[in-house]
Amino acid sequence: MPPTSGPRRGRATRRAVLGAVGAGAVAALAGCTGGRDDAAQGPATGPGEAAVPSVTPGSVPVPTAEEVVGLLQRRGLALVAGADALAEVVAAPSELDALRTSDARAVAAGVAAWAADVTAAATPGTTAAPSPSDPSPGSSSVGPSSSVSPSAAEPEGAVELAATADLLLRVRVRGEERDVVTRARTGVVRREGRWLLAPVADPGTPQPWDLGDVEVLPGERGVVLRIAGSGPDAVDTAALAAELAGDLGDAAQRVDAAWGTDWPRATAVVVPATAADAARLAGVAPAQVAGLDALAVGVEAELPDGRPAGVRIVVQPARFPGLTRLGRHITLTHELVHVATRAATTVTAPGALPRWLVEGYADYAARAGRGLDARALARPLLDAVAAGAPVLVPDDDAFAAADPTALQVAYAAGWTLVTSVARRTAAEAVTGLYRGLAAAPDRGGLPAAEPAQRLDEGCYRAFGEAFEDVRRRWEADVRGGLDGW
């Protein structure tokens, strides 16, 4: 929802949002089939065949749920088929030109599947009402709710919107196995007796093709989408994208060795030209990616097959190229660990899966067996302890610290904590702890309990001791300067 190699990063199962009327406008809503190039994941229907939230009639005619569904379905089917997908859209000529360009880029990038669920709807003068069927309430880890008043969403000079709809979009490109869920918003207007889609001022975070031409580089276990860029901040990423495409297979095999093979066999890696574009793709402010090398994006939601949605990796081009060749490979592997673990994460209780384990395990799996200097990797933590700081298990907020040094300490603490117990037991035991905590109780996970109690139960099952015993041994390792590591 995760980050980089070395201690220089922050997690990224972050909110990713897509413009519904832009190249992101699309497919089926709540129980309607959307366009796709194959049937590998079954029909694109809303979870539980959820109904689209109804909208309360106001001073203007209001579209029915079926009419909104039909508009988005027709646009999505055309987009995936590579046909003109703007027949259902009304906008200024310049906006239509931009949408047509973005649509063409989406087709060139290999857009293969689109579907959507309505999570909220509103009419003029009302606030968007959330749908009880929203498959991921509160799942966005960064940013406010996407529900807004229509007056705030209407573009300057636009016709009065009859309604706005907040969406969860499920998008897949050729070369990635699972649909990636993003948030979006669209407007609906009445023109000459027809309902049409209309742009809104805040359509959401763009898809790669909304930012520029996309070069597609297939890899052994996925695909790299390189976004062309221009301007003083743009980075020439041609060689980097080719390297990533070549490294995908080996990095994925390393994840298989640590985690197992029950995770998506193909993942998309997006390489934007600027750090600002990386932030836009992640749906966060530029400052929030300034210290990151890479991150994994996608709303935590359940797809119609009952399994978690996919994850897409975004490279931060102002930092990632500056890593060593090995560092870049480790970073890619770390992000793929997040792709793998997300596929098994169904627990929803707050605090049930601690961030120190999420990030520490990804670092452990990505670095294991590479002959790295443990003291160098943990230097921020060791220096802080030498200066008098206590040896503390970092809480979740520590992994979102604005201070770069504090962030480095949090990541070093997570990695050393996981590595400490793995050294004494086995890598498989740590993987077992993660799987037990990540899975919901009704999906084979540990029984429901308060987070601390559930963690203790997991440690007893995996290591034969309480978490406090794990913590004390880790503290002794850190205070001993990781002697022998």
Pure H helices in 260-397 = 275-282, 325-342, 355-367, 374-377, 379-386
**Could you tell me the pTM of the whole model?**
0.83
Q: Which helix (H) or strand (E) holds 462?
A: helix 451-463
The mean per-residue pLDDT over the stretch 301-316 comes to: 95
pLDDT recorded at residue 328: 98
- Residue 461 scores a pLDDT above 70: yes
pLDDT tier, 244 (very low <50, low <70, confident <90, very high otherwise): very high
pLDDT of residue 5: 31
**Largest Cα–Cα separation, the chain:** 77
Beta-bridged to residue 365, according to DSSP, are none
Angstrom distance (rounded) from CA 227 to CA 217? 11
Type and span of the H or E element at 297: strand 294-297
Residue 405 makes CB contacts below 8 A (sequence gap 6+) with 380, 384
Residue 161 pLDDT grade (very low, low, confident, very high; cuts 50, 70, 90): confident
Q: How far is CA 431 from CA 196, 389, 461, in A?
A: 50, 30, 12
Give the pLDDT confidence score for residue 219 in this predicted structure: 96
* pLDDT for res 126: 63
pLDDT at 302: 93
| Mean pLDDT of the 199-223 span | 92
Region of 159 (left: φ > 0; alpha: ψ -120 to 50; beta: rest) is: beta
Mean pLDDT across 199-209? 86
pLDDT average, residue stretch 62-68: 78
168 vs 382 pLDDT, higher one: 382
List pLDDT tens digits, range 433-451.
999 999 999 999 999 999 9
What is residue 131's predicted lDDT score, i.e. its pLDDT? 47
Task: Check residue 42 and give its pLDDT.
Answer: 34
Mean pLDDT for the stretch of residues 203-226:
93
Model pLDDT, residue 61: 74
Least confident of 246-255, 395-404, 453-462: 395-404
**pLDDT at residue 472 above 60?**
yes
The DSSP bridge pattern shows strands 222-227 and 267-271 to be parallel
For 336-359, what is the mean pLDDT?
A: 96
Q: Which segment of 2-6, 11-15, 329-333, 401-405 scores lowest on mean pLDDT?
A: 11-15
Question: Do 409 and 417 contact (CB within 8 A), yes or no?
Answer: no
Predicted local distance difference test score (pLDDT) of residue 116: 76
Higher pLDDT: 349 or 18? It is 349
Structure tokens at 76: 């999505």
114-149: pLDDT as tens digits: 877 778 878 866 655 554 444 433 332 222 222 222
Q: How confident is the model at residue 66 (pLDDT cuts 50, 70, 90)?
A: confident
Mean pLDDT of the chain: 82
What's the whole-number mean pLDDT along residues 399-422?
94
Q: Would you state the pLDDT for residue 201?
A: 84
Residue 51 or residue 5, greater confidence: 51
Q: Which two tokens stand for residue 331?
A: 């970073």
